[in-house]
Amino acid sequence: MTGWTEADAPDQDGRVFVVTGANSGIGYEVARMLAAKKAQVVMACRSEARGQAARARIQEAVPNASAEVMALDLADLESVRAFAAAFLERYPRLDGLINNAGVMALPRQLTVQSFEMQFGVNHLGHFALTARLWPRLLDDGGGRVVNVSSEVHRGGKIRFDDLMGERRYDRWAAYTQSKLANLLFTHQLQRMATATQRPVSAYGCHPGYAATELQGRSGSAIERLVFTNITNRLLAQSATMGALPSLRAAVDTTLTPGDYVGPAAFFGARGYPKVMEPSRAARDDDVAQRLWAASEELTKETF
């Protein structure tokens, strides 16, 4: 017996979704699946050329696909603001924002605004994007925000005394911090929406261990070699399977706002998407509130 699949997703005709990092991997598969369900998909990509190539592949797979590529660099808040302004001018509704794009286990680098790259792209860029698109998410009965995290969030810790890794930097600790931040953002966003009776709902998800381009760009040279030549081939599920949790979080009306969705088999690495329990740290009200306040201060964005 199989679990929840693309076939279980309801028709999305007339609905609009933004997918960040839609040119490859999980983001591409989510965009393709949504387009196949007749949604209007905005593919928010750092590289417009790669985005257009991905859009062409989607239109080949889904001849009647409605998809548009728009430039978005999450490592630059000015790009986030420009994207949001262009989207708000062009689209009268937003039914789903899938905050998917991310980087993993990089040597210490800085964004344009001098944030540590992993925290800046994976969390702060998406925090700012969601804030800027908030007015549209509130329209037409309310939209969904889906934050793509990882099971490695369970080893994460928010280092408020050194968020940017200036005193001590470990590439994997920075990555797990950013993935925990994704779920704390989800938790606090849903708490805020519920408390203020806003119609927006927030969901977290994780893809399990899916074979994508991310592993080939992550970690040390030896780690990249192991990822691409050994673990991806032996352990990883496909990007298509890895995208199902994001799709389910975006469209499944049986879910409860705030749910965390991901494959549960093989210690969360593989399988069909189910509702899971995130770590206790991902549901810490005090830490979530503190992170929210820090994110507002750093990005100069509010809801």
Residues identified as active-site: 175
| Integer Cα distance of 108 and 104 in angstroms | 11
Only one residue has tokens 């908030």, namely 134
| CB half-sphere exposure, 174, CA atoms < 13 A | 29
Q: What does the DSSP assignment read for 160-200?
A: TTSTT-SS---HHHHHHHHHHHHHHHHHHHHHHHHHTT-S-
| Integer Cα distance of 163 and 153 in angstroms | 15
Q: Which of these, 216, 183, 205, 192, lies nearest to 273 by C-alpha position?
A: 205
Helix, strand, coil shares of the chain, percent, nearest 5, are: 50, 15, 35
> What's the token pair of residue 110?
């800085």
The answer to whether the CB of 241 falls within 8 A of the CB of 263 is yes
| Integer Cα distance of 30 and 181 in angstroms | 22
CA-CA-CA-CA torsion sign (88, 90, 91, 97): negative
